[in-house]
Structure 1
Amino acid sequence: MSEKHVVMVIDMQNGVFATPRRQRQECAAKINRLMAAADRVIFIQHIEDGGLEEGSEGFALLSELEQPADALYVTKTACDAFYQTRLEQVLAENSIKNFVICGCATDYCVDTTLKIGASKGYGITVAEDAHTTANRPAAQAETLIAHYNEVWRTLTVPGNPVSVKPVETIVAQWQAN
């Protein structure tokens, strides 16, 4: 049997998007494209006081995301989705060693989870056109997204390089398998 095609979607929640994010609709559409081609989807949702309380409207995933019936869900309280969560248990229970990562925010939770996951030995591909962030005081969102894609392309994790690809390339490669 070929390897599972898994997508990990980070923090695409109403409360996170209370702060405007770059190309919300385009990012959500790309994530939907990935999820439609995937065998498995894992939604990571942040819990925090001030609008991201579990069960609240802010905690809920964006309405434009299509949630597969068999999706897996993991909650977190830190930028790192592995930090004091059941993520590693969920990955092990589902025999997941490799996944595509996407979501929000590029420069916080996506970046942190990707780096920790790669250091733990997970094979990670970044969907370069399916993550987003907000404008920050030091840089605009567009610059941050391009910057992090480049950082991830050149990230040094001996024996476990991170891959950075557009959604259509990822989907085409999955369909070829």
Structure 2
Amino acid sequence: MAGQRVVMVVDMQNGVFEMPRLAREQCVARINQLTAAADNVIFIQHAEEGGLEEGSKGFEILPELNQPANALYVTKTACDAFYKTQLENVLREHDISAFVMCGCATDYCVDTTLKNGASRGYAITVAQDAHTTANRPAAQAATLIDHYNEVWRTLTVPGNPVLVKTVETIVHEWQTN
């Protein structure tokens, strides 16, 4: 179905949030706004030893996130959700060529997946107020979020610019189209 409203939610898992993340509640609330307005939701889940093993409590999606009955799930083992996963097959099977990205961590899995997806030709919009990360030794989480929103807004992908918009703007555009 062309023109469908798709949200890709990256790594919003119990184990990922054992490390404090900036504005968890607000991020979750905004992701829930997106998923409520979407036609399709894809949850990306990171799996690795140390608390994110498949089937473990840490691997599970945060309980406060709404998971639509028709949601799709892709498991990854690298920062890039395309790397040795079924993501591209899932997108192809569901005729998805454009999606909104949100989730965790801004500076790792969201960024890496976004750049690889844009390079593969997917039309990507980032929900600028629905991704989060942790404070890092070199920069605070709020600075990293602002920095990556600007990087994505100015990323050079000829013919396929990445869009960066608020959740409110995305949902409004979906409702009026």
> What TM-score results when the alignment is normalised by the length of structure 2?
0.99
The residue that corresponds to 1:22 in the other structure is 22
Matched AA of 1:127 = A
**Residue 44 of structure 2 aligns with which residue?**
44
SS of equivalent to 2:151: helix
* Distance in 2 between residues matched to 1:122 and 1:111, nearest whole Å: 14
Secondary structure of 2:12's partner? coil
1:163 lines up with 2:140 in the alignment? no
Question: Residue type matched to 1:72 in 2?
Answer: L
Within 2, Cα distance between the matches of 1:113 and 1:83? Answer: 9
Structure 1 unaligned segments of length 5 or more: list them: none
- Match of 1:64? 64
Flag structure 2 segments of 5+ consecutive residues without an equivalent. Answer: none
Alignment of 1:123-142 (within 5 A): 123-142=123-142
State the partner residue of 1:121.
121
Are the aligned partners of 2:103 and 2:130 in contact in 1 as well (CA < 8 Å)? yes
Amino acid across the alignment from 1:99: F
Q: Aligned-pair distance for 1:28?
A: 0.3
Cα deviation, 1:76-116, whole Å, max 9, x if unaligned, reads: 00000000000000000000000000000000000000000
Asked if residue 150 in structure 1 is aligned to residue 150 in structure 2, the reply is yes
* 1:72-83 pair list within 5 angstroms: 72-83=72-83
What SS does the aligned partner of 1:20 have?
Answer: coil
SS in 2 for 1:41: strand
Distance in structure 2 (CA, Å) of the matches to 1:6 and 1:110:
16
1:32-89 superposed Cα distances (whole Å, 9 cap, x missing partner): 0000000000000000000000000000000110100000000000000000000000
Aligned residues with identical type, % of pairs: 75
Under a length normalisation based on structure 1, what TM-score does the superposition of the two structures give? 0.99
